[in-house]
Structure 1
Amino acid sequence: MQSPRSKKDVQSLNGKLAALTRFLSRAADSALPFFHTLKGCLSKKDFIWTDEAERAFQDVKAFLKELPALTAPIPGETLTVYLTASSEAIISVLISDRGKTQMSVYFVSKVLQDGEVNYPAMEKLIYALVHTARLLRQYFQTHPIQVFTDQPIKHVLTRPEISGRMAKWAIELGEHGITFLLRHSVKGQVIADFLVELPSDMIKQGETTVTRRGMDEFWKLYTDGASSEEGAGLGILLVSPNGEEITYAIRLKFAASNNEAEYEALISSLSLAKSIDVRQLTAYVDSQLVASQLNGNFEARDTSMQKYLELTKALTNTFTTFEVKQIHRNRNKKADALSKLASLLYDHFTKKVMVEVLERKSTEEDTLMATITTEEECWMTPFIKYLADGTFPEDKLQAHRIQMRAPMYYFKNGILYRKSFTEPYLRCVGPAQTKEIIRGMHEGACSTHSGYRMIVSRIKRMGYFWPHMYRDTYDLIVNCEACQIHAPVNRSPRRNMIPIHAAWSFCKWGIDIIGPFPRGVGNVNS
């Protein structure tokens, strides 16, 4: 096959490539130089066959000599989707796992047009999945689909704050049984060629993607504690790898020495870094005692210092990499200023900066009034398995329900939460705790034996949730013995009283009108 020599030859070549799109793993990306050749070509004189187009033409000819073998999927088997995107094209491949090998089922490619070229990298990948689901709808509706990717597509689609076209795509993909898994290794050579052949320019300069790379880099932590006659305060400065600073001040409501304040500042800052999922942390403190005890150079002899040291080491073990260094006070000016302001100028300082107040020492054990335990098997189990591992129930209808409702739940640190648009996240509880919570709200201390609607409202304000809250609360309150004994007794009749009129006049006095009485002798009334 000779190289195209006219505009008509290029158009014919593009038509042939479009017919072979299913068999070509990079049809759209390979045809881009041909499209650029036709751009602006209005007459025969404007036609220019560039070197880039010639190289792309030779690559297509070489690829057509060794086309991959496609296979038909078995009914009910799980199919795998790989996604990739370049600056001007999106491409995907549908794979069937056959033992230790992966066989191609369908290749999908599309050239981005107009505003689609300006989509961020993450939106291009999601758009590739949406386009694949539209084109291969028959496969997506009859087979379980697994999407292997190294990008957090699932996290982006399940965020409650998404809007616009992302929200439309999330709803459109929600009807299919799609599971997102992390891509580790590639088995088939065809898939390796599919992923390697495309350039890695999908992430342009200035584009932002949702990744956890920032959490895996080193963060810097500066802490300081100040103690005086007027009180004690803590200053915390957390610096991200990008240079963003997080300032925090804490007021101690108990007496503490300088060393105890230094430890309190370090413990509070480690808890703060842990709450935002920091993995690698370097702490800078100006206390020689704290730095030397954590590094093993000094020994903690005081009982109070021993407790602080044990608690601090337990928190440092939760990080992937942790290091503590002693610095001069001149390099810790910001944290030192925060600690002094929190300890001395507390009333005025709270008007400008959020200040937390610690009621007791970190080494003191908390007294819990009630413990919420997670049950082994309950209504939360399918949601936890899906959010944690992406595992669906065996029942297809139940699996579809779980997938549709899962975006309204959030799983972290072994606890399932219910999301809300206007309220904080609510902790989900099982059937064993629901009765205790309802009784505590209805019959507990300072309770007023309110109605079931008021009880449910109070339970939500306390931060708990479970399905059928109104029904369970109503069933339990109806059988409350105290409510039945002390409730006001309604003695009014069930129905309104209806007055009954007499059928005959004067009948209630036994009088009947029979007409005028006859007159007797002498015209006397008888």
Structure 2
Amino acid sequence: MRHDLKETLQLYLAVSDRTLGAVLVKNHEGNQHPNFYISRVLKDAERRYPNAEKFAYGLVMASQKLRYYFQSRTVQVVTDQPLKKILTRPEASGRVVAWSIELGEFDLEYVPRTSIKAQALADFMVECTFSGTQDLTPEEQLIQTPGKWKLFVDGSVSWKKCGVGLIFSSPEGFEICQAIRFNFPLTSNETEYEALLLGMELARSLEAKHLRAFSDSMLVVKHFSRDYEQRDLRTKEYNTKVKNASLSFETLELSQIGRENNSRVDALSKIASDEIHGLTGSIYLTDAKTHSIEKKECLEIYQGTDWMTPIRNFLEKGILPLDRREALKIKYRASSYTIVNGRMYRRSVSHPLLRCLNTKSNIKP
């Protein structure tokens, strides 16, 4: 088909949450004939553009890739979006101003979309561009890998309180959402460690054997993989606790993800760190009263032998030394003691159970 340099081409745009699509068509004898179609997967910040700005970005993308057609012909942008108003408004953001300047060299006409026609092809291209995991980012592919228990954790520190959020997902897709609030101060790094430890404890209680954990804290992930040197004593204790807890699982993978892919857990952690009451739905809000690495004090049990050992052996088991003189001595001393609930008391001590026993003169050993 011959191309007339004076002919007007039409451009149809389509966008979704993750992709852009554009189709350039020409009218010939009342029929529309596609010339080119292009598509692009949006990355990171591009996905957070407002929907109208995504259409403007799609127009810029089409003008860059089909520059020859845009320079030599008039292009009608067929859309139901107010693109001309968006690109010319004085309060536009910096990127929109840059797009407007870039598009200023072309002869563009903005016409309303009155029928579907080639728009159906543009929509179809958007749908096909994002099909399967091959178009996902490596981070998204890692998150969407099926067959394993998945744990998403995040911590939050505010001037009021500290809190963490947990989302625990089974291989079948069942989720447990939990927000935990701390009644004591923590640093930002400590809340990230607390979130991971509490999440691992939850996974262990549900008998998960193969766990894939995700955190947006680079410090925690790099400490776990030993890529970062640990200098702070506090983080060393936390990391040791994480290493010991990981032994409860057959496999444990800890990966870092961006905040945009961890937004749900981030919201849970902010719920826990603020004074929010009356929560509804399947979110469990609990309080933590102690640090995960807090050491519990306990008395050391002395199991050696002392002067009481032969007396206890005689009172409990009737065992006496082979030496007759030593045996008489143990019997004499044992008359001043008794065993109550596994503990040895002098008979002169006031004890409720000793009141029923016959007391004798208090003889010092």
Q: TM-score range by the shorter chain?
A: 0.3 to 0.5
- TM-score, normalising length: structure 1: 0.29
- Greater share of strand: 2
Higher relative contact order, chain-length normalized (CA < 8 Å, sep 6+): 2
- TM-score, normalising length: structure 2: 0.42
